[in-house]
Amino acid sequence: MDAPKYRRILLKLSGESLMGTQSYGIDPAMLRQFATDIAEVHALGVQVGIVIGGGNIFRGSQAAAAGIDKVSADYMGMLATVINALGLQNALEAIGLQTRLQTAIHMAQIAEPFIRRRAIRHLEKGRVVIFGAGTGNPYFTTDTAAALRAIEIEAECIIKGTRVDGIYDADPERFPDAQRFERLTYREVLERDLKVMDLTAITLCQENNLPILVFDAQTPGNLRRLLLGEPIATIVANGVSTSPGQ
């Protein structure tokens, strides 16, 4: 069996990805697919940490725009991520994986508090660790939470699952002639305003030399193919760009 390219990863999933073909909530079929994909890379010996968003249930930025206090809206969004994390945890355990859920907001009845050393120990013991409730602070997105947790657990990369096979110069679902990037620098992502992750998350990754891999998480088996080295993701890292026109 080929060796995986990375041994410890932070997988970032959006809450919207859990909707599947639905317009709201959690599609059980998507939970099962993500759980199966994670189990496949876990079987390769990859240590997996996960941050998941909550946009399928509640999006703090939209609520704030509608008149809800920004801080309260952000906390509501954090709680939505915990609902998704519990769902994913259940799906993973249903197929035999050992998991731990850690939250940035203390919820002793359902999860451990986030403790860095404990999280790393769980990973070393082969447990999948899910990080809920974002950073525990308002004004920060789950993208920033993913970057922060990845750095804290000493992950080798962030793998961000989306609905398309990488980063494009325009939305490929709306613009068929959109050009795909194979590799970008952090600076290019910021200068082109490509919306890969928010400014804080990109800056954290740049300062800590943490690669970001953006791939299509909707296709079963893609996570395993990515970790075995197939070029099915756009890579954001330091170094030479291969963006169109370069």
- List the domain boundaries for the chain: 8-236
Nearest Cα neighbor of 10 from 148, 186, 189, 199 is 148
Structure tokens at 76: 């509501």
Provide the CATH number for the domain formed by 8-236 in this structure: 3.40.1160.10
pLDDT tens digits along 185-227: 999 999 999 989 999 999 999 999 999 999 999 999 999 999 9
- Please report which helix (H) or strand (E) contains residue 47, including its range: strand 47-52
For 4-14, what is the mean pLDDT? 97
Q: Residue 130 and residue 132: Cα distance in Å, rounded? A: 6
Q: Report whether 118 contacts 129 (CB < 8 A).
A: no
The model carries a pTM of 0.94
Q: Residue 110 and residue 103: Cα distance in Å, rounded? A: 9
